[in-house]
Amino acid sequence: MSLEILDQFHDPALCKNVLARLNDTLTGPLRFMEVCGTHTVAIFRSGLRSILPKEIVHLSGPGCPVCVTHESEVNAFLDLAGKPGVIIATFGDLMRVPGSHGRTLKAAQADGARVKVVYSPPDAIKLAAENPDSIVVFLGVGFETTAPGVAASIIMAKRQGVTNFRVLPFHKLVPPALMALLSDDDRESGGGIDAFIMPGHVTAIIGIEPYRPVVERFGRASVVAGFEPLDILQALLFLAECQRDKTPRLANLYRRVVRDEGNAKARAVMAEVFTTADALWRGLGRIPDSGLEIADAYAAFDAKREFDIEIKECPPLPGCKCGEVLKGKLPPNRCPLFGKACTPAKPVGPCMVSTEGSCAAYYKYQVD
Ligand code: SF4
């Protein structure tokens, strides 16, 4: 996209115009959840939050991949990092995410475990090729956005004959988590979620149809939006129009990036390598069919099978309210540890670790 076009999405006059229309359209409180951590940061960074009408209540959702990685899954990473002959390959943002005892991969690395930060799954394949006497395990976390790339890397490793590359698959799928969230949501009590801004990047893969039940079964207006100030204001205007008309609708307002039908090729790669399975989410618990396992045809690349990894549920970190934050039930700055025992320099929970985490965003932008 040219910078000129992007500039239009920051144009103060256009933004003011949409903001005025938003003010005119609202008919009452509108509690909207943005599912994606990138939206959380975009809303704060642009200063939008401070100028939105007071009727609009902003809730952060479970869309930060690192934040929803369960304590038990982090424990499994740590167990694996301690095994002889294993090199863990991971994206950097997992390094400081604590397991159930507060221990992290960074601490394991400091104690001598072989943990390498990589920038892409093919980097992990290269690492495997360079270390033929070790097993390189790539930690597969994230949503539908990262899963196709990880699936493609498994296919690539098979084609290249890299036999010591493995993936530990803890990918998560957004639509089942939204259904689980809404099944437990009480809008009648005055809390709860009225509407959603859906994640742009995830939707670029899955398309908009998986959100249809959010609108038709649960009655929540939903809009796919980009990350510029005008994108977000237009999305809120759409949600306010649904509120005014008392008609929840689904819209894609991010057409410059997201096709309604998503990316069929990326989904085909995922379907070749993965099958759906139940998954554990931090804060949300076990959700049916919300995760991905490696299919039998690619079992040779599955670290779960090779190391017989079983995920055992464990209690949340003492005092950490990430679970409530990820469900939109507690603003981050209402966690008793926020800004005191828990800061970005010394995070207690994953929502303070990741740059997409809502606790880190509240801290960085000093939200009251
Ligand atoms: S402030 Fe820290 S301890 Fe509290 S919910 Fe956020 S990450 Fe967890």
Q: Evaluate: CB of 361 within 6 angstroms of ligand 1.
A: no
DSSP state of 83: S
Helix (H/G/I), strand (E/B), else coil: 20: helix
Contact at 8 Å (CB) between 225 and 253?
Answer: yes
> Does 322 have pLDDT greater than 70?
yes
Helix (H/G/I), strand (E/B), else coil: 63: strand
> Does 5 have pLDDT greater than 70?
no
189 pLDDT band, cuts 50/70/90, is low
Mean pLDDT lowest among 31-45, 111-125, 193-207: 31-45
> Does 31 have pLDDT greater than 70?
yes
Using most ligand atoms within 8 A of CB, pick from 348, 354, 358 the residue to mutate for ligand 1. Answer: 348
265 Cα: distance to centroid of ligand 1 (angstroms):
38
343 Cα: distance to centroid of ligand 1 (angstroms):
8
The arithmetic mean of pLDDT across residues 204-220, rounded, is 97
> Does 219 have pLDDT greater than 80?
yes
Residue 187: CB atoms within 10 Å: 14
Strand pairing class (274-281; 285-294): antiparallel
> Any idea how long the chain is?
368
> What pLDDT is stored for residue 37 in this prediction?
84
> Does 25 have pLDDT greater than 60?
yes
12 pLDDT band, cuts 50/70/90, is confident
Contact at 8 Å (CB) between 37 and 63?
Answer: yes
Domains of the chain: 29-175+186-206+254-363 (3.40.50.11740)
Q: Evaluate: CB of 325 within 6 angstroms of ligand 1.
A: yes
To the nearest 5 percent, what fractions of the chain are helix, strand and coil? 45, 20, 35
The arithmetic mean of pLDDT across residues 70-98, rounded, is 94
Per the model's pLDDT, the better-predicted residue between 5 and 12 turns out to be: 12
Token reading at 202: 């995830």
Q: Which residue minimizes the CA distance to atom 3 of ligand 1?
A: 320
> Does 232 have pLDDT greater than 90?
yes
286 Cα: distance to centroid of ligand 1 (angstroms):
21
Q: Which atom of ligand 1 is nearest to the CA of 347?
A: 2
> Does 49 have pLDDT greater than 90?
no
Q: Evaluate: CB of 81 within 6 angstroms of ligand 1.
A: no
Q: Which atom of ligand 1 is nearest to the CA of 333?
A: 1
42 Cα: distance to centroid of ligand 1 (angstroms):
20
> What pLDDT is stored for residue 202 in this prediction?
96
Q: Which atom of ligand 1 is nearest to the CA of 321?
A: 5
148 pLDDT band, cuts 50/70/90, is very high
Distance CA 324, CA 330 (A): 5
Residue 129: CB atoms within 10 Å: 15
Q: Evaluate: CB of 320 within 6 angstroms of ligand 1.
A: yes
> What pLDDT is stored for residue 283 in this prediction?
87
366 Cα: distance to centroid of ligand 1 (angstroms):
15
Q: Which atom of ligand 1 is nearest to the CA of 319?
A: 3
DSSP state of 235: H
Q: Evaluate: CB of 352 within 6 angstroms of ligand 1.
A: yes
Contact at 8 Å (CB) between 354 and 64?
Answer: yes
> What pLDDT is stored for residue 4 in this prediction?
54
> What pLDDT is stored for residue 131 in this prediction?
98
166 pLDDT band, cuts 50/70/90, is very high
Mean pLDDT over each residue of the chain, to the nearest integer:
93
> Does 9 have pLDDT greater than 90?
no
Q: Which residue minimizes the CA distance to atom 7 of ligand 1?
A: 349
Q: Which atom of ligand 1 is nearest to the CA of 359?
A: 6
Distance CA 249, CA 72 (A): 37
Helix (H/G/I), strand (E/B), else coil: 58: strand
284 Cα: distance to centroid of ligand 1 (angstroms):
15
Q: Evaluate: CB of 353 within 6 angstroms of ligand 1.
A: no
Distance CA 356, CA 55 (A): 25
> Does 70 have pLDDT greater than 60?
yes
CA distances from 323 to 71, 194, 300, 318, 332 (A): 11, 20, 34, 12, 11
Q: Evaluate: CB of 338 within 6 angstroms of ligand 1.
A: yes
Helix (H/G/I), strand (E/B), else coil: 365: coil
Contact at 8 Å (CB) between 221 and 248?
Answer: yes
